[in-house]
């Protein structure tokens, strides 16, 4: 097996380039499952990076999957040159080839998905992952190099957090490109409308027009790659810098729920954030029992108490705020000092103080569980 092939095999099992450690002129690859064992290579990690000088893909009409695949690889190997050709003799000289050649061979760094018999998915390459959409070249690159690519965009030292961002970026960005390139419909029934402004469509519009006489294909491909790369990085940063911190806040609230109330059914969100989607994800992951019925949080100039629905998209509440409070304001709301309002459906209420909001939750919980 070649050096690149050995590294590729390591990546296949989710161990990533960041597990390669340099000692002098030798490169040691440590096997986490076998303490103390390592494979010694005779070339440094820096040499591997320099070896990856050319990224091959097909010429002619380009598509979002190879544009995204090339953009991600350029993040990992910024000095690599993109070579666009369908000639085997040209592609054979490239260090990595994606979306052309009719071969998926990790050892040889060949990542095509068009050949008969190719049915790989994120689930098949990464056991335990739930996604069963057939991979395009973008998905192949992401499955094998994704975590190292993410590290080129954001600084995430914690492996658990990196795993979460990896999953969200695949589920909400790369998977769409895989599905569109492979012609997989979003639903089984006839769609009432189609989305024509997605990333794949915007890439397609950068190709040569049927009546366009002068056209620089290389320049257009580079334009597409720059557009896709910026959108990819923007999405990665969103999940790392916006989505993930909110999840951590909600996770902390769940962990401290018995400190908030002995029932364990009321959580306090220390800093307001989009919390419901995170709560339901964590409820399932943690197999939470009892489930949370209310969340309290500081709304700025007052506190809020919000009833938790049956699920993220449901309008049915597990236990609404007290029925006799619903639709009332301030002094109309009896038995709780500082009350400001309760919505007519009982899904949310306000109070001047934290203790008041917590009391509203406790009284509603007690009435709802009788």
Decide if pLDDT at 6 tops 50.
Answer: no
Q: Which residue has the tokens 């097996």?
A: 1
pLDDT digits (tens, 9 = 90+) for 332-358: 998 899 999 999 999 999 999 999 999
Backbone φ, ψ for residue 342 (5° rounding): -140, 130
Q: How confident is the model at residue 190 (pLDDT cuts 50, 70, 90)?
A: confident
Q: How confident is the model at residue 189 (pLDDT cuts 50, 70, 90)?
A: confident
Q: Which residues, in sequence order, are CB contacts of 318 under 8 Å at separation 6+?
A: 291, 293, 307, 308, 309, 310
- The whole-number pLDDT of residue 51 equals 66
Backbone φ, ψ for residue 106 (5° rounding): -60, -40
> How many helices (DSSP H) and strands (DSSP E) are in the chain?
14, 13
- 11-25, 189-203, 251-265 — most confident range: 251-265
Cα 54 to chain centroid distance, Å, stands at: 28
Q: State the CB neighbour count (10 A cutoff) for residue 164.
A: 19
Distance CA 320, CA 325 (A): 10
Which sign does the torsion angle of CA 351, 355, 361, 367 carry? negative
Decide if pLDDT at 49 tops 70.
Answer: no
Q: Answer with the residue of higher pLDDT: 368 or 101.
A: 101
- The whole-number pLDDT of residue 19 equals 40
Global model pTM greater than 0.85:
no
CB 107 within 8 A of CB 2: yes
pLDDT digits (tens, 9 = 90+) for 62-83: 999 999 999 999 999 999 999 9
Decide if pLDDT at 262 tops 50.
Answer: yes
Mean pLDDT of the chain: 87
Distance CA 19, CA 21 (A): 6
The pLDDT > 70 percentage for the chain reads 86
Distance CA 183, CA 169 (A): 20
pLDDT digits (tens, 9 = 90+) for 121-142: 999 999 999 999 999 999 999 9
Q: State the CB neighbour count (10 A cutoff) for residue 314.
A: 11
Q: Which of 7-21, 207-221, 266-280 has the lowest mean pLDDT?
A: 7-21
Q: Which residues, in sequence order, are CB contacts of 189 under 8 Å at separation 6+?
A: none
Q: Are strands 294-298 and 266-269 parallel, antiparallel or unpaired?
A: parallel
pLDDT digits (tens, 9 = 90+) for 222-244: 999 999 999 999 999 999 999 99
- Angle among Cα 197, 198, 202 to the nearest 5 degrees reads 70
């Amino acid at each position: 097996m070649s050096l690149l092939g050995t590294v590729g095999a390591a990546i296949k099992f989710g161990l990533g380039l960041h597990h390669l450690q340099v000692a002098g002129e030798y490169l040691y690859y440590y096997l986490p499952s076998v303490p103390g064992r390592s494979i010694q290579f005779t070339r440094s990690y820096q040499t591997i990076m320099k070896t990856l000088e050319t990224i091959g893909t097909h010429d002619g009409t380009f598509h979002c999957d190879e544009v995204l695949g090339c953009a991600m690889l350029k993040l990992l190997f910024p000095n690599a040159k993109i070579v666009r050709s369908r000639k085997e003799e040209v592609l054979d000289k490239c260090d990595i080839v994606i979306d052309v050649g009719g071969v998926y061979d990790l050892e040889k760094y060949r990542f095509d998905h068009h050949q008969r018999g190719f049915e790989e998915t994120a689930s098949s390459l990464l056991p335990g992952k739930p996604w069963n959409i057939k991979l395009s070249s973008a998905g192949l690159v992401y499955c094998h190099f994704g975590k190292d690519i993410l590290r080129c965009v954001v600084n995430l030292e914690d492996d658990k957090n990196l795993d979460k961002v990896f999953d969200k970026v695949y589920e909400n960005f790369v998977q769409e490109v895989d599905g569109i390139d492979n012609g997989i419909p979003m639903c089984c029934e006839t769609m009432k409308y189609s989305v024509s402004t997605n990333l794949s469509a915007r890439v397609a519009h950068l190709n040569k027009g049927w009546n366009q006489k002068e056209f620089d294909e290389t320049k257009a491909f580079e334009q597409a790659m720059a557009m896709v790369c910026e959108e990819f990085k923007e999405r990665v940063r969103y999940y790392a810098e916006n989505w993930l911190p909110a999840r951590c806040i909600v996770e902390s609230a769940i962990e401290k729920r018995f400190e908030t109330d002995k029932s364990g059914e009321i959580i306090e969100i220390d800093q307001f954030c989009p919390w419901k989607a995170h709560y339901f994800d964590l409820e399932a992951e943690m197999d939470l029992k009892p489930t949370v019925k209310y969340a309290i949080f500081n709304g700025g100039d007052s506190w809020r108490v919000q009833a938790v629905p049956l699920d993220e998209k449901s309008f049915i509440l597990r236990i609404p705020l007290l029925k006799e409070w619903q639709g009332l304001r301030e002094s109309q709301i009896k038995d709780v000092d500082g009350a400001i309002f309760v919505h007519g459906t009982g899904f949310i209420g306000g109070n001047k103080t934290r203790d008041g909001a917590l009391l509203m939750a406790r009284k509603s919980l007690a009435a709802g569980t009788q």
